[in-house]
């Protein structure tokens, strides 16, 4: 069996879970990591090329909540457009119980909303506490902008979230991903 056939079989047997990252929303939001960092550098005057450091400098300057508001202006859409949403339409059409993303944009949410589908967002322990198994779930692995404390975007965020830890201190999203 070739790779395509193996993947098709895994999809047919519901043994794959989509994990969407950078690029899946580009056609809708028209901005990438370097574009955002350039906009941050315009505010802070940072001249380096370390995107994590650029984000850290802006967070240190304006705080995490304002930083998330800054990102919303680039990452949030008001309305889902099918012409730009091929990736999200495909993922939604798979009709999986759960999806993962590292993106903080709202394109998944707007896609599901447009088609009257319920999509529960989980980005922290509260999401697990309110989990409804009747709903499809989007695990926002790097957080949601509405909850700045969950957002993984700058140098300190990655240090805190991605350090090697024992299982008892793992982020709930890490535990869920390992289980899946």
pLDDT tens sequence across 77-118: 999 999 999 999 999 998 999 999 999 999 999 999 999 999
Judged against a pLDDT cut of 80, whether residue 163 lies above it is answered with no
Judged against a pLDDT cut of 70, whether residue 165 lies above it is answered with no
Distance CA 9, CA 147 (A): 37
Here the tokens at position 158 are: 């990655």
Q: Measure Cα distances from 109 to 79, 145, 155 in Å.
A: 10, 13, 27
Which of 96-110, 118-132, 151-165 has the least mean pLDDT? 151-165
Which of 14-23, 28-37, 114-123, 169-178 has the least mean pLDDT? 169-178
Average pLDDT over residues 124-146: 94
Q: State residue 13's pLDDT score.
A: 84
Global pTM value: 0.90
Sign of the CA dihedral with 171 first, then 172, 173, and 174 last: positive
Nearest CA among 149, 177, 176, 151 for reference residue 55: 151
């Amino acid at each position: 069996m070739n790779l395509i056939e193996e993947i098709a079989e895994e999809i047919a047997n519901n043994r794959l879970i989509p994990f969407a990252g950078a690029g899946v929303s580009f056609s809708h939001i028209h901005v990438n990591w370097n574009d955002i960092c350039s906009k941050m550098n315009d505010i802070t005057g940072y001249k380096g090329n370390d995107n994590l450091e650029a984000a850290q400098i802006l967070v240190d300057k304006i705080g995490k909540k304002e930083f998330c508001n800054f990102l919303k202006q680039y990452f949030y859409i008001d309305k889902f457009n099918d012409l730009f949403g091929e990736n999200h339409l495909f993922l939604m059409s798979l009709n999986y119980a759960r999806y993962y993303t590292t993106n903080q944009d709202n394109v998944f949410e707007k896609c599901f909303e447009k088609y009257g589908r319920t999509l529960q967002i989980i980005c922290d322990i509260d999401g697990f506490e309110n989990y409804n198994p009747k709903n499809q779930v989007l695990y926002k692995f790097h957080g949601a902008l509405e909850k700045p404390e969950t957002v993984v975007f700058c140098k300190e965020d990655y240090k805190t979230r991605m350090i090697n830890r024992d299982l008892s201190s793992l982020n709930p999203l890490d535990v869920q991903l390992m289980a899946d």
